[in-house]
Structure 1
Amino acid sequence: MKKATINGKDFYDYLRFGAEEVYSGKDDLNRINVFPVKDGDTGTNLALTINSIVDETEISEDFNVVIQSMSDAAFESARGNSGIIFASFLNGFSSACGQLRTVSMEDFSNGATLAVQEAYAAVASPVEGTMLTVIREWADYIRDNHSKHHYFSDLLEAAYTRAKIALEETPEKLEVLKRSKVVDSGAKGFVLFLSGINRLLSEIKTAAFSDKTVSENPRVD
């Protein structure tokens, strides 16, 4: 089903599917973790953070209930730089949209814009070519293009494509990544999170198409 607004349950499902992708890719994220230090724990930290948020979120149709509980859980469970950045990202959405029961694409754009500000503020010395850059590029696309899309699925799929491009560009912004021939681990973690959302949207689209096909071509025994 194509939606021009989303509710709390929709946003919770975004988080849940995103968490699954991050968890599946955590070992690879640990392997390519070379910045800010090569300690091999970015994937583990991000996966544990997001999974804890999933477990602690109060599920509701009301967006305000869901995002406020997510934000509270995020700061309680944030681990490592990637976890702190992700927690701050959610807090931005909570600050911008925490009073809304449903969220339009314009509301979501406002949330994404504030999420970027919160994420950058969470880091003492922000560095480009990291998770911060990909979050900003993703949010900038949403800010600049949300009015051009009719449905959340189309907007988020296009923003995901922009985030993937930003990820591939991270070695050009950080010499340590270029030398190691890897992309930034935290940035890839955020793209994995977005890929989970994209997978959910694809599954919904496929299910809707199947239902429409069945209704248009009823089985005759």
Structure 2
Amino acid sequence: MFKALDSVDGTALGRWARACVDGLESRCDEINRLNVFPVPDSDTGTNLLVTMRAAAAEALTAADASVSEVAAALARGAVAGARGNSGVILSQVLRGIAEAADCGRLDAATARSALNEASVLAAEAISVPVEGTIVTVLRHGAAAASACPHDTPLSDVVRAAADAAAEALARTPSQLAALGLAGVVDAGGLGLVVILDALVGVVTGETPQRADLGVAVPRAPVVEVEVPTPDCVDQADDQDYEVMYLLADSDDVRVGALRSDLDALGDSVIIVGDGAGVYSVHVHCADPGAAVEAGLAAGRPHQVRISCFVLDQRRRHGPAPATTRGILAVVAGAGVADLFEEEGAEVLRYEQSVTPGQLLAAIRDVGHGEVLVLPNGALSAQELVAVSVAARNENHSVLMLPSSSTVQGLAALAVHDPSRVAADDAFTMSEAAANTRWGSLRIAPERALTLVGTCEPGDGLGLIGHEVVVIAPDASEAGRRLLDQVLGVGGEMVTLLLGVAAPDGLADMLIDHVDRHHPGVEVLVYPGGQDGDLLQLGVE
């Protein structure tokens, strides 16, 4: 029988982060469908999920660490990976936990402090707070936790917060006109309830079941809450772009000036920090260039993301016109195919090999006027040139990107921005691919001579690019030595794509090796499903 926790340690906090990811994954589509405010762009669930995944991935670097170290990693990852209004607010929930856990414990008292601090940080982050949003739901959850007597156990504190948040969520249609008219609860608020319920599950062993929270509520007259005009925008007619970037080398004074500048440029201005000198900046505006220039005056903007609401809505709500851009990725493996499709790419999947004719047919089937192709090493340069020439006509503009491996293709796709002109988008994606070192781990099928010696059947082979650089008696040893080589010249993140023949425990062993010998390097592991290679890796 599960015994409720009196306090949360680093391991339990890591479990909570993974439970949040699982919960948001299961309700992502549902949350997206509820998204009507501040713009009806149907991405709140996706933004929360992407942000929480970034936080959980960063927490892997603090595995087996103290609760304060894990909490700090969660906040750091969330601020760096925040997407959209809701993701930025979520980052402040995690930052509130990090600041409360700085004392080295997360018990009933510090949990109350964490939620209060999160509520304050979230409210301060928004230039024009609006009732009936995720901030409202968070405030009520924090208030319920604070109202608990001081001797209340942790399990009752977190349960009170989650229940109060759920009740506040149910009231959001009566607080915000856009929600009442649409007959829905606030999308970000639902995501927050999912996250608080996950904490209840970790602490008590039983996650609350609230299957009906996201259902549409009856449309009824709503209580109009008078709020300033900028944050009442329900359409993207005036503010066509969402601009987000991280800001370093700044301070509170310059961030305050930046907030004023962005308020003058647009709305939905949110600026938050991770507590360690990095700020996440978010704004909806008509002039994305001016929003970035304002950041240059305040510090060093990086990881700039610009989204166009009009293009996003067209992609979601019907066939794209012939002038839009599509991505076609050539991939081997079911898991890899899923990764590309989740990021919006169309996929040409193959088992052993793909022919130029198959690629040409796939390009012609893409319903876009501009097609960027990620060949991922499946065809030779000469074959790609021939296909590119044959595919171009009055209806298709085709650009072959220099992705020589699957991991390079994923890195390129991560920076794809359809709002750029095709040449600029292709250049940025190509640069991301080129900056990703890649390699693979295999088992030698026969005796052969390589640049580093002779291998025997069954030896583990580590390759960087197409060249064998490691020969070892087994795959595990080859994998460790391969990682040492690719990380020996630097790197902040390693992506591992596991093949169908990867032995059990290989990924865990390699993660442990990186943690021990390359501290600070993040490791992401995905089921690739490719044949041949035990794993493929990319280093950024």
Query: Does 1:111 find its partner at 2:111?
Result: no
SS at match of 2:150: helix
Call closer, same or farther: CA 1:148–1:162 in 2, change over 3 Å: farther
Call closer, same or farther: CA 1:96–1:194 in 2, change over 3 Å: closer
The structure carrying a bigger strand percent of its residues is 2
Q: Could you tell me how far apart the structure 2 residues matched to 1:143 and 1:177 are?
A: 28
Which of 133, 136, 141 in structure 2 is aligned with 1:130? 133
Corresponding residue for 2:17? Answer: 15
Sequence identity, in percent?
A: 31
Structure 2: which amino acid aligns with 1:196?
A: A
Q: Could you tell me how far apart the structure 2 residues matched to 1:194 and 1:162 are?
A: 10
Residues 129-208 of structure 1 correspond to what in structure 2 (within 5 A)?
129-145=132-148, 147-150=150-153, 152-201=154-203, 203=205
The alpha-carbon deviation at position 130 of structure 1 amounts to 0.4
Report Cα offsets for 1:112-162 as digits up to 9, x if no partner: 111111111221211110000111111111111152522x22221222111
Call closer, same or farther: CA 1:9–1:75 in 2, change over 3 Å: same
Contact 2:16 2:199 in 1 (8 A): yes
Q: Could you tell me how far apart the structure 2 residues matched to 1:2 and 1:168 are?
A: 28
The alpha-carbon deviation at position 202 of structure 1 amounts to 5.1
Report Cα offsets for 1:76-102 as digits up to 9, x if no partner: 10000000001112112222332x222
Query: Does 1:97 find its partner at 2:101?
Result: yes
Report Cα offsets for 1:32-63 as digits up to 9, x if no partner: 10000101111100011101211111223511
TM-score computed with the length of structure 1 as normaliser: 0.85
Contact 1:109 1:146 in 2 (8 A): no
Report Cα offsets for 1:143-200 as digits up to 9, x if no partner: 11152522x2222122211111000000111011011000000001111122223344
Q: Could you tell me how far apart the structure 1 residues matched to 2:160 and 2:48 are?
A: 24
Query: Does 1:27 find its partner at 2:18?
Result: no
SS at match of 1:86: helix
Call closer, same or farther: CA 1:11–1:133 in 2, change over 3 Å: same
TM-score computed with the length of structure 2 as normaliser: 0.36
Unaligned runs of 5+ in 2: 208-540
Size of the aligned set, in residue pairs, is: 203
Call closer, same or farther: CA 1:16–1:48 in 2, change over 3 Å: same
Q: Could you tell me how far apart the structure 1 residues matched to 2:41 and 2:167 are?
A: 26
Query: Does 1:86 find its partner at 2:90?
Result: yes
Call closer, same or farther: CA 1:200–1:111 in 2, change over 3 Å: closer
Structure 2: which amino acid aligns with 1:78?
A: A
Q: Could you tell me how far apart the structure 1 residues matched to 2:51 and 2:79 are?
A: 9
Q: Could you tell me how far apart the structure 2 residues matched to 1:157 and 1:204 are?
A: 10
The alpha-carbon deviation at position 12 of structure 1 amounts to 2.0
SS at match of 2:37: coil
The alpha-carbon deviation at position 105 of structure 1 amounts to 1.1
SS at match of 1:4: coil
Whichever of the two has the greater Rg, that structure is: 2
Q: Could you tell me how far apart the structure 2 residues matched to 1:22 and 1:146 are?
A: 31
Call closer, same or farther: CA 1:176–1:134 in 2, change over 3 Å: same
SS at match of 1:103: coil
Contact 1:20 1:196 in 2 (8 A): no
SS at match of 2:192: helix
Corresponding residue for 2:79? Answer: 75
The structure carrying a bigger helix percent of its residues is 1
Corresponding residue for 2:291? Answer: none
Corresponding residue for 2:7? Answer: 5
Contact 2:112 2:157 in 1 (8 A): no
Q: Could you tell me how far apart the structure 1 residues matched to 2:70 and 2:172 are?
A: 32
Q: Could you tell me how far apart the structure 2 residues matched to 1:56 and 1:41 are?
A: 23
Structure 2: which amino acid aligns with 1:84?
A: V
Aligned-residue Cα RMSD (Å) equals 1.8
SS at match of 2:5: coil
Contact 2:5 2:203 in 1 (8 A): no
